[in-house]
Amino acid sequence: MKNWSHYSWEKILTADGSYSLKSLVSNSESHESEIMHHRGGAHSETFLVYGRILEPLFAAHKNPRFLSLGLGLGYIELLVAQKAFELGREDDFYLVSYESCPELVEYFLSEIEKSLHGNQASKTNLWVTNSDQTEAQAPALTQTLIDEALIDQTHADQTQINEISQTYENVFSFYPDQVKQILFKAYQQKRWVIYPALTQVTVVPFLIHGFLWDAFSRKTTPELWDEDFLKSFISQSLDKIALPIGFTTYACNGPIKRALRACGFDVQEQKGFHGKRQSLMAWLK
């Protein structure tokens, strides 16, 4: 797993006016750089690719449960809250998000709180202070990780903090206060939980109706697109839960298609965003 301190982030303006972040991921072998979203529009891409399974799942299930990989700028999480708002289902959904970079989680939570409760830049450390609950449910969040997050916040570079903070302000500007409030309330009520990196041994905290798979590319995180891993990860949630189950992602590669078909899904190739060849949506009904 890549440690968060090996990332640095650069703010990127995309064509629809929404920001994305580009990471510089350094490890001993290489320096890789990957932007979180398509330059044609971070907000628009999320809406197109991840919005499409939300409404059918809200319609089919009293309490739809979603999994988002990874949190990033939180566009997907805000979209889930937006859909709940539009449908008058504010308190009905459950959501688990995975994010390997603790600094993004910290800043997302503190910025959303700031945008809701005035501009007093209170550094709430919500994620860290909620670690009792998180640790109980997610053994992967170790004390070492929490300590690292705390130490690194103290030493974080001010330019980085500004880039990230301005990016979140821009993300939140796309959503009304009611939507942010819905998401924040879900977090406080533990209907939205945020866990660290998703790995080969991750066990989902609840059975999932909707998979919102927004991992970095196969080049950057090959382990999250491995066919055998995908098969076993997706299938852990299948046999004890009411159908339908949906899966959506911006990518449309061989391993994900084969893994979903092996799990019994009907795989539907969809138009890709902004000139990308294809994306993928799949249903188990």
Ligand X SMILES: C[S@@+](CC[C@H](N)C(=O)[O-])C[C@H]1O[C@@H](n2cnc3c(N)ncnc32)[C@H](O)[C@@H]1O
Shortest Cβ distance from residue 80 to ligand X (Å)? Answer: 11
- For residue 13, the cross-strand partners are 19
Whether residue 254 is preceded by a cis peptide bond, meaning omega within 30 degrees of 0, is no
The answer to the question of residue 197 lying near ligand X (CB under 6 A) is yes
Give whichever of 73 and 164 is closer to ligand X, judged by the CB atom. Answer: 73
Shortest Cβ distance from residue 243 to ligand X (Å)? Answer: 25
The answer to the question of residue 179 lying near ligand X (CB under 6 A) is no
Shortest Cβ distance from residue 55 to ligand X (Å)? Answer: 18
**Which part of the chain contacts ligand X (CB under 6 A), choosing from 106-114, 136-144, 185-193, 211-219?**
211-219
Gap between the Cα atoms of 114 and 165, Å rounded: 11
Subset of residues 1 to 60 that bind ligand X, contact rule: CB under 6 A: 36, 46
Among 44, 47, 57, 70, binds ligand X (CB under 6 A): 70
Shortest Cβ distance from residue 200 to ligand X (Å)? Answer: 10
Gap between the Cα atoms of 136 and 229, Å rounded: 24
The answer to the question of residue 248 lying near ligand X (CB under 6 A) is no
Do 235 and 263 touch, CB atoms closer than 8 A? yes
Give whichever of 54 and 104 is closer to ligand X, judged by the CB atom. Answer: 104
Gap between the Cα atoms of 72 and 215, Å rounded: 9
What lies within 8 Å, CB to CB, of 48 at 6+ separation is 273, 279
Alpha helices in 117-249 (DSSP H): 126-129, 131-137, 143-155, 158-172, 177-188, 227-235
**Which part of the chain contacts ligand X (CB under 6 A), choosing from 94-102, 117-125, 144-152, 161-169?**
94-102
Spell out, one character per residue from 99 to 128, where the chain touches ligand X: x when CB under 6 A holds, - when not.
xxx--x------------------------
Written as six digits, the tokens of 221 are: 């995180």
The answer to the question of residue 215 lying near ligand X (CB under 6 A) is yes
Q: How many CB atoms lie within 10 A of CB 238?
A: 15
**Which part of the chain contacts ligand X (CB under 6 A), choosing from 71-79, 87-95, 138-146, 237-245?**
71-79
The answer to the question of residue 80 lying near ligand X (CB under 6 A) is no
The answer to the question of residue 210 lying near ligand X (CB under 6 A) is no
Shortest Cβ distance from residue 122 to ligand X (Å)? Answer: 23
CA–CA distance from 55 to each of 20, 50, 58, 110, 160 (Å)? 25, 10, 5, 29, 36
φ, ψ of residue 121 in degrees (nearest 5): -70, 65
Q: Contact positions toward ligand X, by CB under 6 A? A: 36, 46, 69-70, 72-76, 98-101, 104, 197-198, 214-216, 221, 224
